[in-house]
């Protein structure tokens, strides 16, 4: 059993302990303790019933923790010391764990951290490394989150929608460390899709798979960005694309459209084009119009303007861009692209330079600087 398979068992064990009456915070610590012991013990020999083993060890750890707590308080505790008789994990309890960890009272960074630990089975150290924060800071964030959940959570936990937002963030903001957070987000979304019968969860899963499939082509080895149009489509993972497209189709067939399915449809249309010239931009614009019904944000409108520029030409794209709030991040980058396409290279070069100044990260800054330099070189060669 590898570490990922082992971590699959974590939410099941935790949900059994909670169902058994253990308080969430202590139960979560107990399962982590059991997980660490399992990592050491299972190297030699895998138990016949790994889930049962984990639950039993976690339950004993919980009792130890409660007893030593109780001893400090000099109080009597009465807990059944036998392993729980109802030690069979059930799907509803596991789903409820997802809801608890995405509780609306939690800040998004806390919900992300708690989900990765309590549902994902990652250690605090792994989560801290992934988000580039000190381990002590992450430990505090997680224990505060558990206190919030313990106080407010049980009566009105989050719902599928809040869980999806958390998983979307995990996928989107994975940085570094020894854990692949994008893959982890996909794993957890797969689990959620199996637990919750919701077309949008399948839409989110499809969206993640379709983006993940292009990962190898999105950056060069030095970390620089490769725009969609320049990506080597031979590097795209065709199996993941096929799976993503299938899941998206099946979700859309249920006729319960939502923003994740609309985004997945757009991603599927990109993935479908063997060459960038074969992209069906007209349909992509139609899907952006659908997406606007669910999420009318400046970012969606900005991306739509790019698609309109490809479908109907640069002037139409610029007209669509004129309707977008100029303060939205990457506005200058899109304006530069559309003006270049429209033949106004001087303006485009200035806008690329502005886009570089206002870029939200170094990779994008470098990318926009390269674009400005490319156009300025071109302009200079044609002036002389």
Partner 1 sequence: MAKYLLLKHYRGAPAPVNNVPMDQWTPDEVEAHIKFMNDFAGRLESSGEFIDGQALSPDGAWVRYDGEGRPPVTDGPFAETKDLIAGWMIIDVDSYERAVELAGELSAAPGANGEPIHEWLEVRPFLGAPSNFTH
Residues that bind partner 1 (CB under 8 A): 222-224, 349, 352-353, 356-358, 360, 362, 365-366, 369-370, 372-374, 376-377
Query: Is the Cβ of residue 189 or residue 368 nearer to partner 1 in the bound state?
Result: 368
Q: Would you call 222 exposed, middle or buried from its count of C-beta atoms within 10 A (0-12, 13-18, 19+)?
A: exposed
Q: How far is the CB of 143 from partner 1 (least distance, A)?
A: 26
The secondary structure of residue 155, as a DSSP letter, is: T
Residue 224: alpha-carbon gap to chain centroid: 22
The secondary structure of residue 344, as a DSSP letter, is: -
Query: Is the Cβ of residue 107 or residue 224 nearer to partner 1 in the bound state?
Result: 224
Answer yes or no: are the C-beta atoms of 261 and 251 closer than 8 Å.
yes
What are the b/e assignments for 295-320, b being 16+ CB within 10 Å?
eeeeebbbbbbbbbbbbeebebbbeb
Query: Is the Cβ of residue 156 or residue 357 nearer to partner 1 in the bound state?
Result: 357
Q: How far is the CB of 377 from partner 1 (least distance, A)?
A: 5
**Residue showing tokens 């224990």:** 143
Q: How far is the CB of 300 from partner 1 (least distance, A)?
A: 23
Query: Is the Cβ of residue 217 or residue 376 nearer to partner 1 in the bound state?
Result: 376
Query: Is the Cβ of residue 223 or residue 234 nearer to partner 1 in the bound state?
Result: 223
| Paired residues of 219 in beta bridges | 225
Q: How far is the CB of 349 from partner 1 (least distance, A)?
A: 7
Q: How far is the CB of 126 from partner 1 (least distance, A)?
A: 20
Q: How far is the CB of 102 from partner 1 (least distance, A)?
A: 29
Answer yes or no: are the C-beta atoms of 334 and 359 closer than 8 Å.
no
Q: How far is the CB of 110 from partner 1 (least distance, A)?
A: 23
Query: Is the Cβ of residue 343 or residue 360 nearer to partner 1 in the bound state?
Result: 360
State the Cα–Cα distance between residues 235 and 226, nearest whole angstrom.
12
State the Cα–Cα distance between residues 313 and 142, nearest whole angstrom.
50
The torsion angles phi and psi of 36, rounded to 5 degrees, stand at -65, -40
Contacts of 125-131 spanning 24+ positions with Cβ under 8 A: 126/177, 126/178, 126/179, 127/179, 129/176, 129/177, 129/178, 129/179, 130/174, 130/175, 130/176, 130/177, 130/179, 130/181, 131/173, 131/175
Q: How far is the CB of 375 from partner 1 (least distance, A)?
A: 9
Q: How far is the CB of 327 from partner 1 (least distance, A)?
A: 11
Query: Is the Cβ of residue 81 or residue 381 nearer to partner 1 in the bound state?
Result: 381
State the Cα–Cα distance between residues 19 and 305, nearest whole angstrom.
50
Answer yes or no: are the C-beta atoms of 112 and 160 closer than 8 Å.
no
176 Cβ neighbours under 8 A, 6+ residues apart: 129, 130, 132
Query: Is the Cβ of residue 223 or residue 343 nearer to partner 1 in the bound state?
Result: 223
Q: How far is the CB of 369 from partner 1 (least distance, A)?
A: 5
Query: Is the Cβ of residue 154 or residue 226 nearer to partner 1 in the bound state?
Result: 226
Query: Is the Cβ of residue 323 or residue 377 nearer to partner 1 in the bound state?
Result: 377
The pair of structure tokens assigned to 51 is: 């889930």
């Amino acid at each position: 059993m590898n570490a990922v398979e082992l971590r699959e068992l974590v939410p099941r064990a935790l949900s059994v302990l909670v169902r058994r009456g253990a308080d969430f915070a202590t139960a979560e610590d107990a399962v982590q303790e059991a997980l660490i012991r399992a990592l050491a013990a299972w190297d030699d020999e895998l138990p016949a019933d790994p889930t049962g083993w984990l639950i039993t060890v976690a339950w004993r750890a919980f009792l130890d923790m409660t007893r030593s707590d109780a001893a400090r308080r000099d109080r009597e505790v009465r807990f059944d010391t036998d392993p729980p008789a109802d030690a069979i994990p059930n799907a509803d309890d596991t789903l409820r764990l997802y809801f608890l960890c995405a509780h609306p009272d939690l800040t998004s960074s806390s919900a992300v951290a708690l989900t990765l630990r309590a549902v994902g089975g990652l250690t605090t150290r792994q989560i801290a490394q992934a988000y580039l924060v000190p381990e002590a800071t992450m430990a505090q964030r997680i224990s505060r989150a558990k206190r919030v959940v313990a106080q407010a959570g049980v009566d009105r936990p989050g719902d599928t929608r809040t869980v999806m937002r958390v998983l979307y963030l995990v996928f989107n903001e994975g940085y570094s460390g020894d854990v692949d957070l994008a893959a982890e987000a996909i794993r957890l979304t797969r689990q959620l899709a199996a637990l919750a019968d919701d077309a949008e969860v399948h839409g989110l899963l499809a969206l993640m798979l379709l983006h993940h499939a292009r990962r190898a082509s999105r950056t060069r080895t030095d970390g620089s960005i490769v725009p969609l149009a320049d990506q080597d489509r031979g590097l795209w993972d065709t199996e993941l694309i096929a799976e993503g497209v299938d899941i998206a189709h099946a979700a859309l067939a249920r006729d319960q459209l939502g923003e994740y399915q609309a985004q997945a449809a757009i991603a599927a249309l990109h993935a479908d084009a063997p060459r960038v010239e074969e992209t069906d931009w007209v349909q992509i614009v139609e899907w952006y119009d659908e997406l606007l019904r669910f999420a009318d944000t400046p970012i969606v409108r900005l991306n739509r303007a790019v698609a309109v520029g490809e479908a109907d030409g640069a002037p139409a794209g610029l007209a669509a861009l004129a309707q977008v709030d100029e303060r939205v991040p990457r506005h200058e980058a899109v304006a530069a692209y559309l003006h270049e396409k429209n033949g106004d290279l001087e303006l485009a070069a200035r806008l690329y330079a502005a886009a570089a100044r206002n870029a939200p990260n170094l990779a994008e800054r470098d990318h926009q600087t390269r674009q400005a330099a490319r156009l300025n070189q071109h302009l200079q060669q044609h002036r002389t």
